[in-house]
Amino acid sequence: MNTVYMDNNATTRVAPEVVEVMLPYYSELYGNPSSMHTFGGQVGRAVEEARGKIASLLGAQPDELIFTSCGTESDSTAILSALQSFPEKRHIVTTRVEHPAVKNLCESLDKLTGHKHRITQLPVNSDGTLDLALYEESLGDETAIVSAMWANNETGVIFPIKEMAQIAKSRGILFHTDAVQAVGKIPIDLSQVPIDFLSLSGHKLHAPKGIGVLYVRKGTPFVPFIIGGHQEHGRRGGTENVASIVGLGKACELAAFQMHAENTKVKALRDKLEDGLLATIPSSLLNGHKTMRLPNTTNISFEFVEGEAILLHLDRFGICASSGSACTSGSLEPSHVMRAMGVPFTAAHGSIRLSLSVYNTEDEVDFVLEKLPPIIAQLREMSPFWKSEHKGKVGSSQCKCSCS
């Protein structure tokens, strides 16, 4: 059975070109980039070359980049650095739809730092977009840092990061963006956007897992998170993950090269898939703004069915997708993103995310368009709510779901 991989916001295939440039660093080129000898030095040069390629994709200076182990480490480093730089400021502005890397960190800061912090989690509109006026109102003299994602992982909705960063800058507040989903998919030019910190993750753009980058603008106060050796000019201890760094450099070079295809070819495939599903499946709704969105992502709710059951049926055909439903303990409610957008419960439990990449083909899109509609029909056939008059609450149920 062929795998039809449409879960690229979860992780991506490592590009064959990336694997190829990495291999020597797992065999003959095993030197430590910090070593004095020529053997290690050549590896150090490869790291710097990769740094240059990544900087050029972002419109940044090479020495503004710090290699980390993942996007989550970059997020933690940025936010904790800002709090340590301004210990008297105890307010953070973020959004209700952030990735857990930022959301859960912000919610644990009190325990972590031993100080009380005030966290403002900005609400979003029903299409997942942000209200700039509300954002501006939320900022105060106490605000240490703003952390807002560039693009949402579940819906692909893009926030107006440039405007938000300008507003923060004008108020003297540090600005961090989790750009893990945006880098490589939409053009980013940090020479034009006054961001202080930006996080990216290799495995979301066809580099391997286990490599991330934190961009720190020159002049931004910085306190390291991982303390150790003098690597990264003392900003992040630990011997460099050389092969992955070289791979990420190549992946960024490819991303720059394929940016046009991402926004034309991939977008066309996504639109065909999305339009086809919405047209053939009744009671299906698009989650997220139609245009202010990543070109590769679509998130659709199929009312009266449960997402995980859909995923299992898709899996039988080798189709990989993901869902905003949560049928496991601890998080039995649909995703925090769906809830923040106010997606009705009838639809939130049946949301499916399909995220494409340059490796998807039109045949694959046609395959999903052929297989998915009968799955929804079959599940609805066994759903007690489908065709029933009293949608929503049934019988003796006492379910109140008072929590929003």
Binding site for other proteins (CB under 8 A): 110-111, 114-116, 304-306, 308-309, 312-313, 316, 325-334, 345-346, 349, 381-385, 391-403
The residue among 45 and 391 lying less far from other proteins, judged by its C-beta, is 391
- For the record, the structure tokens of 327 come out as 């049928």
Sign of CA dihedral 88, 100, 193, 56: positive
Q: How far is the CB of 321 from other proteins (least distance, A)?
A: 15
Give phi and psi for 282, each to the nearest 5. -65, 160
**Rounded-to-integer distance, Cα 5 and Cα 2, Å:** 9
> Which helix (H) or strand (E) segment is 68 a member of?
strand 65-68
Please name the helix (run of DSSP H) or strand (run of DSSP E) that holds residue 55, with its range, or none: helix 38-58
**Smallest distance, other proteins to C-beta of residue 387, A:** 10
Cα radius of gyration (the chain)? 22
CB 112 → other proteins: shortest distance, Å?
Answer: 11
Based on the residue annotation, tell me whether 106 is a catalytic residue of this protein.
no
Closest distance to other proteins from the beta carbon of 386 (Å) = 8
User: Which residue number, 28 or 88, has a Cβ lying nearer to other proteins?
Assistant: 88
Closer residue to other proteins (CB): 86 or 166: 86
Structure tokens at 398: 């006492």
CB-based contact 147:98 (threshold 8 Å): yes
Residue 349 Cβ vs other proteins, minimum distance, rounded to whole Å: 5
Q: How far apart are CA 173 and CA 384, in angstroms?
A: 52
For strands 212-216 and 197-201, give the pairing. antiparallel
**Would you give the DSSP letter of residue 186?**
B
- Residue 110 CB, shortest distance to other proteins, in Å, is 7
Residue among 106, 327, 399, 401 flagged as catalytic: 327
CB 393 to other proteins: min, Å:
5
* Per-residue tokens: 123: 């609400």
Q: Which is nearer to other proteins, 229 or 392 (CB)?
A: 392
Contacts of residue 243, defined as CB under 8 A and 6 or more positions apart, other chains included, come to 22, 23, 25, 26, 208
Structure tokens at 17: 């070109």
Separation CA 313–CA 242 (nearest Å): 40
Distance in angstroms between the alpha carbons of the first and the last residue of the chain: 41
Q: How many CA atoms lie within 13 A of 266 on its CB side?
A: 25
**Of 121 and 297, CB closest to other proteins:** 121
d(CA 181, CA 201): 8
User: How many angstroms separate the CA atoms of 352 and 321, rounded?
Assistant: 7
Cβ closest to other proteins, residue 72 vs residue 325: 325
Q: Which is nearer to other proteins, 249 or 334 (CB)?
A: 334
- Sheet-wide strand order for 351-355: 284-286, 297-302, 351-355, 322-323
Calpha distance 326→331 (Å, rounded):
6
Active site residues: 327
